[in-house]
Amino acid sequence: MFYDYEFKHYNIRLILYMTALNILGILVIRSATNLNETMVSKQILGVLIGMAVAVGLSLVDYHRILNLSAVIYIICFLSLVAVLVWGKEVNNAKRWIEVPVIGQLQPSEFVKIGLIVFFSWYFMKYQERINQPSVIGAAALLFALPAYLVFDQPNLSTSLVMVIMVAGIVFASGISYRWIAGTLAVVLPVTGTFIYLLLNGLIPFIREYQAGRILAWFNPEKYGQAYYQQANSIIAIGSGQLNGKGLYNTTIASVKNGNFLSEEQTDFIFAVIGEELGFIGCMAVIILFLLIIYECLIMAARARDLGGRLICAGMATLIAFQAFANIAVATAIFPNTGLPLPFISFGSSSLISIFIGMGLVLNVGLQRETRH
């Protein structure tokens, strides 16, 4: 129980870093939505609920959560099937379901956290046989089922996040470098072949708009319409210069005020940060993310067992890749993916799910291995 915890190990720094990003997110969302108080109120409510969930989970022994991994996996799988059957279609994508009282939810956001818990338990359970083909094969199959359901929504970006996230867990589990080298030997040529086929219009299993975004990244001049959002995002970030134009500015010479960005409160919120808070604001966001990732990795290193280490490593990988991908899209380093910026972008599902994961991380840190 919580009275056995040494609360001197409670990571207040991590809560402060998350809170700083949340506050910044609320301010920028208010500006991005032209002072839409309804959306701002929803985001504030999401932050309050998420933080309460995180603090509550931080006092629950993560081993109890790990023991429910099989149930969590089944719930994740069934929720994705529910999206397939009863999901609400928006912009040719079926990713949301309507839940009575709660409202609209995106299960794939919660599935990411569920998979972190499940595979942390799985590799802890089989850590003595982790390099056996049967263990690796079963893990691959158990991952492929939910990953395919997410991919088929269609949600290529989230399925890619899941791949990177689980790869981080596998790497941290202590798997042999032979498996890692073998995987890279397969993945790299397959990726090269995929890109070649895509450029030649020979990929049948991704949607036209997904192919368009990737092709626009390779050849912006030819696919200008698909590259339009990213081009405007770069202009917005560059126009902010050092200090930015200021929150809630009404200047005509503004990409945001000219409505040249869509989804500026979610996918392209970093462009608004760059335009209104400048280079200083962008660097503040990046530094806060680096501090959160650092704290997760430190707690992974100090975890009392493999399960705790993998939870922290999984969350560090998730936040690192998703934050990098969102910023990379806004700066055209990546093709347009449609991923939210953790803790900042508008959206209750993304916000609350990430807080659930951080609550588990906080509990791992609270039960850190004591070294004398």
pLDDT in tens, 218-230: 777 777 677 778 8
Tens of pLDDT, residue by residue over 64-101, are 999 999 999 999 999 999 998 888 777 667 888 887 76
Provide the pLDDT for residue 96. Answer: 83
H/E stretch holding 103: strand 103-105
Tell me which of 169-178, 200-209, 268-277 is least confident. Answer: 200-209
Spell 254-290 as b/e; 16+ CB within 10 A means b: bbbbeebbeebbbbbbbbbbbbbbbeebbebbeebbe
Which residue type is seen at 123?
F
Phi, psi of 97 (to 5 degrees): -130, 150
Helix axes 348-366, 269-301, angle to 10 degrees: 20
- Give the model's confidence band at 180: pLDDT under 50 very low, under 70 low, under 90 confident, else very high: confident
**Alpha helix segments (H runs only) across the chain:** 12-32, 37-57, 62-66, 69-86, 107-125, 133-151, 156-172, 177-199, 208-218, 224-239, 269-301, 306-330, 348-366
Tens of pLDDT, residue by residue over 2-44, are 557 778 889 999 999 999 999 999 999 999 888 889 999 999 9
- In angstroms, the CA 3 to CA 59 distance is 9
- In angstroms, the CA 276 to CA 251 distance is 11
Length of the chain: 372
Cis bond upstream, residue 133 (ω within 30): no
Q: Is 106 helix (H, G, I), strand (E, B) or coil?
A: coil
* Domains of the chain, residue spans: 2-366
Name the average pLDDT for the chain.
89
Q: What percent of the chain has pLDDT over 90?
A: 62
Number of other CB atoms surrounding residue 183 within 10 Å:
14
Provide the pLDDT for residue 219. Answer: 75
Tens of pLDDT, residue by residue over 278-323, are 999 999 999 999 999 999 999 999 999 999 999 999 999 999 999 9
Spell 107-121 as b/e; 16+ CB within 10 A means b: bbbbbbbbbbbbbbb
- In angstroms, the CA 207 to CA 200 distance is 15
- Give the model's confidence band at 237: pLDDT under 50 very low, under 70 low, under 90 confident, else very high: very high
Structure tokens at 292: 């959160």
- In angstroms, the CA 88 to CA 266 distance is 19
* Residue of 372 and 76 predicted with greater confidence: 76
Provide the pLDDT for residue 5. Answer: 75
Distance (Å) of CA 122 to CA 116, 208, 271, 317: 10, 37, 39, 18
Provide the pLDDT for residue 372. Answer: 43
Residue 23, exposed/middle/buried by CB under 10 A (0-12, 13-18, 19+)? Answer: middle
